[in-house]
Structure 1
Amino acid sequence: MSIAVKDWLSAARLRTLPLALSSIIMGGFLAAKFGNFNATIFVLACLTTILLQVLSNFANDYGDTQNGADLADRVGPARAVQSGKISPQQMFRGIISLGVCSLIAGVLLIYVSFGGFTQLFWTFLAIGLICILAAYTYTAGKKPYGYSGYGDISVFIFFGLVGVVGSYFLYSKSFHPQIIWPAISCGALATGVLNINNLRDINSDKTAGKITIPVRIGRKNTIVYHWAILLVAIASTFIFVGNIENVKPYYYFSFALIIVNGVQVSKSSNPDPYLKTLALTSLAYVLLLGLSIN
C-alpha cells in the first residue's frame, strides 16, 4: 500500500464508520420487525451513509485546519491537511468527489425505494442534499456551525432521527410511532461520541475559538452531560421495548458497555481511546437490540 493511499484512509477515519452505520442498521432491524425489510435498499443505504461519513471526515480535516482548530500540539490522531500529508487543494477535490458520489448513491437509493421520480423521491432528494451540505459546513466554510456549539444537535438529528426514521421510511413508506425511541437512543450515543471528541479537544478548540459544549460548560460539567446522554439512550430503550412484543433480553448486555464508557470517560484525563469504544458500543447496542426484537 502506497503512502498516499494510507494517508487518504487515515483522513477517512474508518473508525467512525461503525457509528455512522448504526442508525442505518437499526432502521433495517426495525423494518424486519414490522415486515418491510428489503436487502437492496439496505445495501444502498449503507453505501450512501459510508460515503457521507467519509465526506464529513474529509470536510472536518479540511475545515479544522483552515479555521485553526487543528494545531500542531492537538491531542488525538494527526490530521492529514494539518500535517501536510495531503494538501488543502487535494482534500478539497476529495470533498467534491465524495459529494458527487454521495449524491449518486443517494439518488439511486431513493429511486429504488420509491419506484421512480415520485413526490417522495424529490422530498428525500432535498433531505439528502441537506445532509451533504451539513456534512461540509460542520467545520468547513466561512461560518461552520460546529464552531458555534451546534454540532451536538446536528449529530443527534442526522445520526439518530434522520438515520433511523428516514431509513425505516425507505422500507415501509410509513412512520411507526415506536421507532422514535431507538432513533433517540442512536442519536444520543452518536452525540456521546462527539462529546468525547470535543472533550479531548477542549484546550485546542478554546484556543481556536471553536465554541463546543465542553468549551462552554467546562470539563467537569461535560462529564455530567456525557452521563446524561448515555442515560437518555438507556431510558429510551426501556420505553421502546416496553411497547414491543416478544422482546429477548440481549439488549441488556449493551447497557453494561454504555455504563463502562461513562466510567472510563469520567476517570480519564485523555478520553480519546474511549471515542472508538463508544462508537463500537453504539454498533453493539444496535446489533443486540435488533436481535432482541427479531
Structure 2
Amino acid sequence: MALLMTATATEEPEMSRAKAWLIASRPQTLPAAAAPVIVGVGLAYDAGLFSVWPALAALVGAMLIQIGTNFANDYYDAVKGVDSEDRQGFTRVTNSGLIPAEQVKRAMVLTFAAALVVGTYLVYVGGLPILVIGLASLLSGYAYAGGPFPLGSHGLGDLFVFVFFGVIAVVGTFYVQAADLLAAPLAMTIPEGTITTTAVLASLPIAGISTNILVVNNVRDLETDRKAGKRSLAVILGYRWSRVEFVALLSLAYAVPAYFAVSGEFGPAILLPLATLPYAWLITHTMLTRTDGEALNPALEQTGKLLAGFAVLFALGMVI
C-alpha cells in the first residue's frame, strides 16, 4: 500500500497498463481451464496413473488456450462492432480503448503460440491423438470469435465450451498421464487403458458447469448481441429456453456423482460435490429472475467459483 501511495506520476500509466492486461485476460474465467485438469488428476490418481509433468503441462496449456480465446473474443467483438456502449458486461479493453486493437491481436497470437510450445511436450507424451486434439483446440479457440464463421456468433459457442473445456479437457488430462505411464512416446494410435468410460462420464459435470459460465454471459448480453447481429445460442433460444439450458446443464453436473455413488464406481465420498448445491441454487435463482448486468455479472463470477469448488470436491472424492 505504501508503495502504491508513493508511486510517481510516470509510474501510474504502467500500473494502469498492467491492470488493463489483467482485465483482458479475464481471470474470472480461468476456473474453466483449471477445473478439468483437477478432475483429470483425480481420475488418474484413483486409477494409479497420476503423472505430475503431463498434468502440469495440461494445466498450463489449458490456461493459455483460455486466455488466448479471451483475447480473441475481446479483439474480434470490438473490430466487428459486437461490443457497444450499451453492453452490461465486464470491461473490454479493445472496445474501451485501454489497449490498442493490434496489441490485443498480437497478444492473442503469442498466447496461442505459447500454448503450442507447451503442446509439443504433450504431443511427445501422448502422440498423434494429442496433436489432433491440440490443434483442434487452438483452431476452435480462435474460431470462437474470429475467422469467417465465428462459432460464438452462430449459436455454437456453448457446444464449443462443452466439448473442448469439458469433455476433451478432462479426458485429455487423464489420457496424457495414462499415456506417460502405459505407452511409448509419440504413439500413433490411442494406447489401451488411456481413455475410459469413467473419464468420459466424469467430464460431463465440468462440461456442464463450464458451459453455464457462457450461458450466464450470453443471457446478460442477449439484447445487445441481438442488436449487433451476433446470434449466440441465447439470442436464438431467448430467455426462457436459455434458462432451461442452464438448469439442465446444472442437473447433469449433479447427476453424475450420484450415478457414480449408486453404481459403486466410487465410494460415498464421490458425493462431496453435492455440498455446493446451496450455492448453485443461489446462482440459479438469479438466472431465473434477472437479466441485468448488475445481477448477472456477479452470477458469472459465482458460476466460475461453483465450477472450481465442484471440481476440487469431485477430484477429492475420487482420491478418497
Q: TM-score range by the shorter chain?
A: over 0.9
Q: Which residue of 2 aligns with 1:246?
A: 267
Q: Which residue of 1 aligns with 2:277?
A: 255
Secondary structure of the 1:242 match is helix
| Matches of 2:242 and 2:197, distance apart in 1 | 31
| Matches of 2:47 and 2:279, distance apart in 1 | 27
Q: Is the 8 A contact 1:189 1:229 kept in 2?
A: yes
Secondary structure of the 2:146 match is coil
Please point out which of 196, 213, 217 is paired with 1:197.
Answer: 217
Give the TM-score, by structure 1 length: 0.93
Secondary structure of the 2:83 match is coil
State yes or no: 1:211 paired with 2:231.
yes
Q: Counterpart amino acid of 2:274?
A: Y
State yes or no: 1:232 paired with 2:252.
yes
Secondary structure of the 1:107 match is helix
Structure with higher Rg: it is 2
Q: CA deviation at 1:77?
A: 1.1
Q: Which residue of 2 aligns with 1:280?
A: 305
- 1:163-200 Cα shifts (integer Å, max 9, x gaps): 11111111113122122222111101111110000000
What runs of 5+ residues in structure 1 fail to find an aligned partner? 115-119
Q: CA deviation at 1:152?
A: 0.7
- After superposition, residues 1-294 of structure 1 pair within 5 angstroms as 2-111=15-124, 114=125, 120-173=126-179, 174-243=194-263, 244-248=265-269, 249-270=271-292, 271-294=296-319
Q: Counterpart amino acid of 2:297?
A: D
How many residue pairs are counted as aligned between the two chains?
287
| Matches of 2:202 and 2:283, distance apart in 1 | 19
Q: Is the 8 A contact 2:254 2:274 kept in 1?
A: no
- 1:218-262 Cα shifts (integer Å, max 9, x gaps): 112221221111111111222233332323142220233223221
Q: Which moved more, 1:208-217 or 1:196-205?
A: 208-217
- 1:120-143 Cα shifts (integer Å, max 9, x gaps): 523311211111111111011232
Q: Counterpart amino acid of 1:266?
A: L
Q: Is the 8 A contact 1:181 1:240 kept in 2?
A: no
- 1:19-66 Cα shifts (integer Å, max 9, x gaps): 211011110010011111111122111111111111000000011112
Q: Which moved more, 1:262-271 or 1:60-69?
A: 262-271
Q: Counterpart amino acid of 1:255?
A: L
Q: Which residue of 2 aligns with 1:117?
A: none
| Matches of 1:256 and 1:276, distance apart in 2 | 16
Q: Is the 8 A contact 1:247 1:293 kept in 2?
A: no
- 1:65-97 Cα shifts (integer Å, max 9, x gaps): 122111122011120000011111111111111
Q: CA deviation at 1:4?
A: 1.5
Q: Is the 8 A contact 2:35 2:307 kept in 1?
A: yes
Q: Which moved more, 1:243-252 or 1:265-274?
A: 243-252
| Matches of 1:129 and 1:245, distance apart in 2 | 34
Q: Counterpart amino acid of 1:279?
A: G
4+ runs deviating over 6 angstroms = none
| Matches of 2:119 and 2:30, distance apart in 1 | 17
Q: Is the 8 A contact 2:260 2:266 kept in 1?
A: no
| Matches of 2:46 and 2:276, distance apart in 1 | 20
Give % identity: 29
Q: Please provide the CA RMSD for this pair.
A: 1.4
